[in-house]
């Protein structure tokens, strides 16, 4: 039976990052991926003959700095676009640099208030950013917390002063709409910020605690880029880095169960019955699936399984791919930009409301990129691919096919209004609803983060209390996918953190 020190389940960005980290520290690592290729949410697909696009995630924010440098992704062939400018198109366009950078085209009335708000939120986000690279502390005595880094965080909190600290506490659990409406009046800016704050979340801008999700997003990286060749290039570079570090990568190898003997992990069994032995298993797929399906309730406690099953995992984002026979025209916007159609805070909120009831919004809001504007090789010459994340989409509508058709129609209507003349250019349209994403990529509920990223499922509550430090009650089983802290995105942070904990041999 093939044997290694660690088996990593799942070859998404987190699995690849974890495997590399472990191999670079001298462990013999085997990574097993269900699909014929690695990447998970980081993939490039030919969705229509001659047209290729990022199959799910399309914009790179990051990856995690440790991952990027240790994996030397550029040396392994990753080429990125120039940093993206975001545009809110219109006769009177507004642009923003990077994730939360410089804004142009803002009315004079909002200038002062915006620069103050931007400065403050950036400061808060930078303060929280180190958390993303830490094992979440556990609020218990002798919890084995990372006291050094917690201490540093505590110091930076103290050094911000009483007034600012009080402001941080006030802001921490607030909803993003309240913050925006307190200080700003410009609908274009407020719509953009409300959209970015709720991107990938199952929440509207008026949902409680939505600001902290935004701070987390800002903390994840300040620039946005598109990978040349689509997101699959990131996966390809990560795979090369993993293999260069000595990882054995097995694709087309879905894991059926995690094997145990005497209550210790001893390896995995694939769907085809093949066994692989290992002293430890790090699972970078959904936590619920790992625990409920691969381990199974017989080896876990009832209260524990209750909590695993109670993880909220609701995808609210759909993915739209259009094959276009020519270049569409968005007023005053460049196709190399990231274009956001979210006219106001209420437009975002109204797009979220119906989703609560399993229904499709009349006017979805969205983030659009044209990968072909950066890498023309993705489509026939002169043709384009439109890739958009469209929010919000119901993850469990009554009728899946009807909801998908409705979502596509409503999305195309919004697009046609924003870029008149786009419809006739469409050679092929594909929209992936959250349930399609679940079926195709294995993300529970189609959730961006393998489980809602919300304050009640963050830090020591991610994926749920008791397993937030990447280890589980089962000796030798570790969790390191997007369901763990700090959540998803093409980043590898969770996998890297988990591998670090495994190497430190933290006890359950």
Partner 1 sequence: MIARLHFNKHLLETPFYPRTAPLNKHSEWGAWSGHLSATGFGDTEMEYTAIRNGASVYDLCPMVKYRITGPDAVAYLDRLTVRNVAKLTPGGVHYTVWCDDAGKVLDDGTLFRHGPQDFLLCCQERHLPWLTDATLGFEVAVEEITETIAALSLQGPCTASVLSAAGWDVSSLRPFRMTKVPFDGTTLTISRTGFTGDLGYELWIGPAHALALWDHLFTAGAPWGIRPIGSDALNMARIEAGFLIAGMDFIPAEQALREDRVRSPFELGLDWLIDWNKDHFNGRRALIRERESRASQWSLVGLDIAGNVSAEGSLIYHAKQKEVGYITAALWSPTTKRNLAIAHLKRPYAAAKSDNLWVEIYALRELQYVKLMVPARITPRPFFTPARRRATPPGRF
Ligand X SMILES: Cc1cc2nc3c(=O)[nH]c(=O)nc-3n(C[C@H](O)[C@H](O)[C@H](O)COP(=O)(O)OP(=O)(O)OC[C@H]3O[C@@H](n4cnc5c(N)ncnc54)[C@H](O)[C@@H]3O)c2cc1C
303 touches partner 1 by CB under 8 A: yes
254 touches ligand X by CB under 6 A: yes
Site for partner 1 (CB under 8 A): which residue of 126, 153, 157, 299?
A: 299
Beta carbons of 61 and 35 less than 8 angstroms apart? no
CB of 491 to ligand X, least distance (A): 6
165 touches partner 1 by CB under 8 A: no
Residue 255 near which of ligand X, partner 1, none (CB within 5-8 Å, type-dependent): ligand X
Length of the chain: 508
Site for ligand X (CB under 6 A): which residue of 32, 179, 323, 479?
A: 32
Binding part of the chain for ligand X, among 136-144, 184-192, 456-464, 483-491 by CB under 6 A, reads 483-491
Beta bridge partners of 478: 282, 471
Residue 229 near which of partner 1, ligand X, none (CB within 5-8 Å, type-dependent): none
Site string for ligand X, 277-306 (x = CB under 6 A): -------xx---------------------
Q: What are the E-state strand segments in 238-392?
A: 248-250, 255-261, 264-270, 275-283, 317-324, 338-341, 365-369, 384-391
> 95: phi > 0 → left, psi -120 to 50 → alpha, else beta; which?
beta
Phi, psi of 220 (to 5 degrees): -75, -15
Tell me the C-alpha distance between 342 and 196, whole Å. 10
Binding part of the chain for partner 1, among 104-112, 197-205, 299-307, 369-377 by CB under 8 A, reads 299-307
Site for ligand X (CB under 6 A): which residue of 14, 53, 86, 501?
A: 14
Beta carbons of 61 and 196 less than 8 angstroms apart? no
CB of 259 to ligand X, least distance (A): 14
Site for ligand X (CB under 6 A): which residue of 4, 6, 7, 10?
A: 10
Number of residues lying near ligand X (CB under 6 A): 40
Site for partner 1 (CB under 8 A): which residue of 184, 305, 443, 482?
A: 305
Residue 199 near which of ligand X, partner 1, none (CB within 5-8 Å, type-dependent): none
Rg (CA), the chain: 22
- In the structure encoding, which two tokens stand for residue 453, read together? 């990223």
CB atoms within 10 A of CB 318: 29
> How far are the Cα atoms of 51, 327, 372 from residue 381, in angstroms, in the given order?
10, 11, 10
9 touches ligand X by CB under 6 A: yes
Site for partner 1 (CB under 8 A): which residue of 148, 302, 357, 401?
A: 302
* Burial of 143: CB neighbours in 10 Å, binned 0-12, 13-18, 19+: exposed
473 touches partner 1 by CB under 8 A: yes
Which ranges of 336-380 does DSSP label H, i.e. alpha helix? 345-352, 371-374
CB of 32 to ligand X, least distance (A): 5
304 touches partner 1 by CB under 8 A: yes
Binding part of the chain for ligand X, among 100-108, 116-124, 311-319, 329-337 by CB under 6 A, reads 311-319
Among 350, 100, 357, 343, CA closest to 211: 100
Beta carbons of 423 and 412 less than 8 angstroms apart? yes
Phi, psi of 230 (to 5 degrees): 85, 175
27 versus 289: smaller Cβ distance to ligand X? 289
Beta carbons of 427 and 326 less than 8 angstroms apart? no
Beta carbons of 480 and 282 less than 8 angstroms apart? yes
- In the structure encoding, which two tokens stand for residue 106, read together? 């803002």
Site for ligand X (CB under 6 A): which residue of 4, 24, 33, 335?
A: 33
407 touches ligand X by CB under 6 A: no
296 touches partner 1 by CB under 8 A: yes
Of residues 192 through 211, those in contact with ligand X by CB under 6 A are none
Site for ligand X (CB under 6 A): which residue of 213, 366, 378, 443?
A: 443
* Burial of 45: CB neighbours in 10 Å, binned 0-12, 13-18, 19+: middle
Binding part of the chain for partner 1, among 15-23, 33-41, 188-196, 296-304 by CB under 8 A, reads 296-304
300 versus 332: smaller Cβ distance to partner 1? 300
Provide the 8-state DSSP code for 299: G
Among 132, 31, 28, 20, CA closest to 76: 20
Of residues 49 through 88, those in contact with ligand X by CB under 6 A are 56-59, 61
Q: What are the E-state strand segments in 355-417?
A: 365-369, 384-391
58 versus 132: smaller Cβ distance to ligand X? 58
CB of 294 to partner 1, least distance (A): 12
Applying CB under 6 A, which residues contact ligand X?
A: 9-15, 32-35, 40-42, 56-59, 61, 254-255, 284-285, 315, 317, 319, 389, 437, 441-443, 446, 448-450, 481-482, 488-490
Applying CB under 8 A, which residues contact partner 1?
A: 263, 292, 296-306, 309, 473, 508
């Amino acid at each position: 039976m093939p044997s290694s020190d660690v088996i990593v389940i799942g070859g998404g960005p987190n699995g690849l990052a974890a495997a590399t980290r472990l191999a670079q520290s001298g462990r013999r690592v085997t990574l097993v991926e269900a699909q014929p290729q690695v990447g998970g949410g980081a993939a490039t697909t030919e969705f229509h003959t001659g047209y290729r696009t990022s199959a799910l995630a399309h914009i790179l924010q990051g990856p995690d700095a440790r991952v990027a440098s240790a994996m030397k992704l550029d040396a392994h062939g990753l080429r990125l676009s120039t940093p993206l400018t975001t545009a809110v198109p219109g006769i009177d366009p507004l642009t923003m640099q990077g994730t939360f950078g410089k804004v142009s085209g803002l009315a004079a009335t909002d200038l002062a208030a915006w620069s103050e708000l931007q400065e403050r939120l950036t400061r808060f986000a930078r303060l929280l950013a180190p958390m993303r690279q830490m094992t979440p502390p556990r609020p218990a005595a002798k919890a084995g917390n990372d006291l050094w880094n917690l201490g540093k965080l505590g110091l930076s909190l103290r050094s911000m002063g009483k007034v600012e600290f009080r402001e941080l506490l006030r802001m921490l659990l607030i909803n993003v709409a309240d913050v925006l409406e307190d200080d700003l009046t410009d609908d274009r800016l407020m719509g953009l910020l409300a959209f970015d704050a709720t991107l990938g979340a199952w929440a509207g801008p008026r949902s409680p605690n939505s600001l902290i999700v935004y701070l987390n997003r800002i903390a994840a990286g300040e620039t946005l880029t598109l990978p040349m060749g689509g997101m699959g290039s990131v996966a390809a570079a990560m795979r090369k880095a993993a293999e260069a570090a000595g990882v054995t990568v097995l694709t087309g190898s879905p894991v059926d169960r995690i094997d145990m003997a005497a209550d210790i992990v001893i390896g995995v069994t694939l769907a085809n019955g093949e066994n692989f032995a290992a002293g430890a298993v790090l699972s970078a797929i959904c936590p619920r699936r790992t625990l409920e399906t691969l381990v199974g309730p017989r080896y876990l406690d009832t209260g524990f399984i209750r909590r695993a099953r109670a993880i909220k995992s609701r995808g609210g984002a759909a993915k739209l791919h259009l094959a276009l026979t020519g270049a569409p025209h968005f007023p005053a916007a460049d196709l190399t930009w990231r274009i956001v159609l979210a006219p106001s805070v209420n437009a975002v909120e109204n797009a979220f409301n119906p989703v609560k009831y399993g229904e499709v919004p009349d006017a979805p809001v969205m983030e659009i990129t044209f990968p072909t504007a950066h890498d023309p090789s993705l489509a026939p010459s002169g043709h384009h691919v439109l890739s958009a994340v469209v929010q919000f989409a119901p993850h469990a509508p009554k009728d899946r096919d009807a909801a998908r058709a409705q979502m596509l129609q409503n999305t195309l209507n919004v697009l046609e209004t924003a870029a008149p003349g786009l419809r006739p250019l469409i050679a092929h349209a594909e929209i992936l609803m959250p349930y399609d994403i679940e079926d195709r990529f294995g993300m529970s509920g189609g959730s961006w983060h393998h489980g809602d990223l919300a304050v009640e499922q963050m830090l020591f509550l991610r994926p749920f209390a008791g397993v937030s430090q990447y280890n589980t009650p089962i000796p030798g089983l570790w969790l390191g996918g997007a369901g763990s802290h700090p959540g998803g995105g093409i980043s590898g942070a969770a996998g890297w953190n988990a591998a670090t904990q495994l190497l430190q041999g933290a006890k359950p």
